[in-house]
Amino acid sequence: MEVSIDRLTKHYGRKIAVDCVSTVLKPGMYGLLGENGAGKTTLMRMLCAILEPTSGEVLLDGREVSSMGADYRDLLGYLPQDFGYYPNDTAEEFLLYMAALKGIPRNRAKKRVKELLETVGLQDVAAKKIKSFSGGMKQRVGIAQALLNHPKILVLDEPTAGLDPKERVRFRNLISDYAKDRIVILSTYIVSDIEAIADEVLLMRKGKLVSQGTVPELTKRAEGKVWELAVSPAEAARWQKKEAVANLRHEGDQVILRILSDDRPAEEAVCCETTLEDLYLQSFRE
């Protein structure tokens, strides 16, 4: 199975939301990184055939997805960024309703819903109305509905938003298992989530796909460009104005700055190991 995105473009009037994005997605986990307004959600919506592209196409094994209709949607699981639900439904009722929308027969749906409620840790509140749930619990309902039909292509737009650290770990483990023989694309602003589970990272900026590769491949590109420098608190402010500071922490009387710079910023600066966050910050440094 292979999803090809071919010169996909979306214009909203004069604004270009997605600009000629091309890539090929094979089974595995893809992390979509980009600042707000980079075009991640628009790209995902076009990938789900909700939004018609201005130009370009999305192909599944050579067939254009918009022409596949229900056959394509049957393979799809989608968690939108602004996940909508029916507030008067219980978690179980909502999932059964979504299962019917996905064309899952009633008996199978009941089993699957029970299974998923356990998977996302909502089995004890299955009979409670969603409107009484916390943000994280609602998000878990959203994740469960995306998984109902065992989708071959799973698109998750900021799935970890609102989840506490324990829930995030549970989610990462669940999705990692899931991505073995399926295409999973997730966008998030929490870089560590992608770093932990993504096989490949797609970096978007102003509607364009600026980088794509595995985490080691991408971080390698930033190697030798991340430095740590210990300075006094008074000097720290001066350095922040002068250089791109990715992090700042206090150690005793000193402040340790993590500086992104092509050249060694000072004699005492020490070159350190690069993370995906460093690359992200470097990519979006103005």
Partner 1 sequence: MELFRLEHKKLWRKKSTRICVMLCFLYCVVIGSFLVYQWFSFGSRKDNMGGRSFDGYENIRNCQAYFSKYGELTDETLQEWVRDYQSAHEAEDEQTMENSGWQIVNSMLKGLYPELEEEDMLGIMLMSCYVEPDKLTEVYERREKAVETFLDISGQTGAEREYLLQMDDKVREPFSWKWVEGWSAVLGDQVSGLGTVMALFLAIVLSSLFAGEWHDNTSALILTTKNGWRKLALAKILTGISFALELFVLLAAGMIVSQLVFLGTEGWDMPIQTIKMIAIAPMNMLQGEIYEYAFTMLGAVGFAGVVMLLSACCKNHVLALLLSLAVAYGPMTVKDFAPYWLEKAFDLLPLVGSGADIFRTNTFHLLGRYIWSPYLLIWVPVLLGVLCLPPAVRGWARRMRG
> Which positions touch partner 1 (CB under 8 A)?
45, 48-52, 70, 73-74, 76-78, 80, 82-89, 93, 96-98, 100-103, 105-106, 145, 149
Question: Quick check: 78 and 155 in contact, CB under 8 A?
Answer: yes
Work out how close the CB of 266 gets to partner 1 at its nearest, in angstroms, rounded to a whole number.
50
Nearer to partner 1, 50 or 272 (CB): 50
* DSSP β-ladder status, 270-271 and 3-12: unpaired
- Of 109 and 245, the one with the shorter C-beta distance to partner 1 is 109
**Least distance (Å) between residue 78 CB and partner 1:** 4
Judged by beta carbon, residue 11 or residue 264, the one nearer partner 1 is: 11
Residue with smaller CB distance to partner 1, 87 or 233: 87
- Least Å from the CB of residue 134 to partner 1: 18
Residue 265, CA atoms < 13 Å, CB-side half-sphere: 24
**Separation between Cα atoms, residue 216 and residue 276, nearest integer Å:** 9
Least distance to partner 1 from the beta carbon of 49, Å?
8
Helix (H) or strand (E) holding 160: none
Q: Name which of 150 and 220 has its Cβ closer to partner 1.
A: 150
Q: Are 24 and 5 in contact (CB under 8 A)?
A: yes
Joined together, the tokens standing for residue 181 give 């023989």
Residue 95 in tokens: 């999932």
Comparing CB distances to partner 1, the nearer of 183 and 269 is: 183
Closest CB to partner 1 among residues 52, 273: 52
**Do 229 and 269 meet the contact criterion of CB atoms below 8 Å apart?**
yes
Q: How far is the CB of 142 from partner 1 (least distance, A)?
A: 9
Q: From the CB of 86, what's the least distance to partner 1, in Å? A: 6
Minimum CB separation from partner 1 for residue 11, in Å?
A: 14
Return contacts of 12-18, CB within 8 angstroms, 24+ apart: 16/207, 17/42, 17/207, 18/42, 18/43, 18/46, 18/53, 18/207
The alpha carbon torsion through 87, 93, 97, 98 (nearest 10 deg) reads 80
Four-residue CA torsion sign, 93, 94, 99, 103: positive
